[in-house]
Structure 1
Amino acid sequence: MPEIAEVARIVHFLRLHLVGKTIRTASAVDDQIVFGKAGTTGDAVSAALTGRKVISSGSQGKLFWLVLDKAPHVVMHFGMTGWLQIRGVQTSYSSLYRDTDTRVETWPPKYTKFHLTTTCNPAVEVAFTDYRRLARVRLVDCPGADIRSHAPLKENGPDPVQDTDRFTLAYFQSKCRASRAAVKAMLLNQKFISGIGNWVGDEVLFQSRIHPEQRCNHLTDAQTKTLYEVIRYVCQTAVGVLGDYHQFPSDWLFKYRWSKGSENPTLPGGEPLAHVTVGNRTSCYATRLQKITLDGVPVVVEEEKNKEEVVEEEDGGRQEEKKPAPKGRKRKAEWGSTDMPKPKARRGRRAAVKKTEEEEQEEEEEEEGVKPSKPVAKRGRKALMR
Structure 2
Amino acid sequence: MPELPDVETFRRTLDAHGLGRPVRRTTVSAPDLLADISPQSLGRLLKNHSLVETRRHGKYLFTAREGRDGWLVLHFGMSGTLVMLEGKGAQPEHAGLVVTFDHGGVAYDSPRRLGMIGWTESPEAFAASRELGPDALAIDRESFVSGLRGYRGAIKCWLMDQARLAGIGNVYSDEILFQAGLHPKHAGNSLNGTQAESVYGIMQRVLEGAVAAGADPARLPDGYLLPNRGEGGRCPACGEALDTVRACGRTAWYCPHCQAPDEVSG
* Cα drift, residue 203 of structure 1: 0.5
Structure 1 contact 28–114 (Cα < 8 Å) conserved: yes
Structure 1 contact 211–285 (Cα < 8 Å) conserved: yes
2-structure distance, mates of 1:213, 1:30? 38
1:195 equivalent in alignment to 2:133: no
Partner of residue 217, structure 2: 245
1-structure distance, mates of 2:155, 2:184? 6
1-structure distance, mates of 2:256, 2:3? 25
Aligned counterpart in structure 2 of residue 80 of structure 1, from 78, 87, 92: 78
* Cα drift, residue 78 of structure 1: 0.5
Aligned counterpart in structure 2 of residue 67 of structure 1, from 64, 68, 82: 64
Partner of residue 377, structure 1: none
1:186 equivalent in alignment to 2:161: no
Aligned 1:91-240 pairs, distance under 5 A: 106-107=90-91, 109-119=92-102, 123-140=103-120, 142=121, 147-152=122-127, 155-161=131-137, 163=138, 167-240=139-212
Structure 1 contact 55–69 (Cα < 8 Å) conserved: yes
Partner of residue 324, structure 1: none
CA deviation profile, 1:114-148 (whole Å, cap 9, x unmatched): 112113xxx022111212111011111x3xxxx23
Identity %: 26
Partner of residue 21, structure 1: 21
Structure 1 contact 219–293 (Cα < 8 Å) conserved: no
CA deviation profile, 1:296-338 (whole Å, cap 9, x unmatched): xxxxxxxxxxxxxxxxxxxxxxxxxxxxxxxxxxxxxxxxxxx
Aligned partner of 1:225: which letter?
E
Structure 2 contact 62–123 (Cα < 8 Å) conserved: no
Aligned partner of 2:66: which letter?
D
1-structure distance, mates of 2:246, 2:150? 23
Structure 1 contact 57–65 (Cα < 8 Å) conserved: yes
Aligned partner of 1:85: which letter?
V
Structure 2 contact 71–123 (Cα < 8 Å) conserved: no
1-structure distance, mates of 2:220, 2:108? 27
2-structure distance, mates of 1:217, 1:228? 14
1:266 equivalent in alignment to 2:234: yes
| Structure-2 change in CA distance of 1:231 and 1:30 (3 Å) | closer
Partner of residue 360, structure 1: none
Partner of residue 353, structure 1: none
Rg comparison, structure with higher value = 1
Greater relative contact order, per chain length (Cα 8 Å cut-off, separation 6+): 2
Query: How large is the RMSD of aligned CA atoms in angstroms?
Result: 2.0
SS in 1 for 2:239: coil
2-structure distance, mates of 1:277, 1:235? 23
CA deviation profile, 1:213-268 (whole Å, cap 9, x unmatched): 11111222222121111001101111123213332111001111122xx4xx4225
Structure 2 contact 218–227 (Cα < 8 Å) conserved: no
SS in 2 for 1:81: coil
* Cα drift, residue 54 of structure 1: 0.8
1-structure distance, mates of 2:216, 2:149? 34
Partner of residue 380, structure 1: none
1-structure distance, mates of 2:43, 2:124? 24
Aligned partner of 1:273: which letter?
L
2-structure distance, mates of 1:41, 1:80? 23
SS in 1 for 2:175: helix
Structure 1 contact 18–124 (Cα < 8 Å) conserved: no
2-structure distance, mates of 1:159, 1:288? 31
Aligned partner of 1:42: which letter?
P
Name the count of aligned residue pairs: 263
Structure 1 contact 208–227 (Cα < 8 Å) conserved: yes
Partner of residue 262, structure 2: 293
Give structure 1 regions of 4+ aligned residues with deviation exceeding 6 angstroms. none
SS in 2 for 1:293: coil
Segments of structure 1 that go 5 or more residues without pairing to the other structure are: 90-103, 295-339, 343-386
Aligned partner of 1:270: which letter?
G
Segments of structure 2 that go 5 or more residues without pairing to the other structure are: none
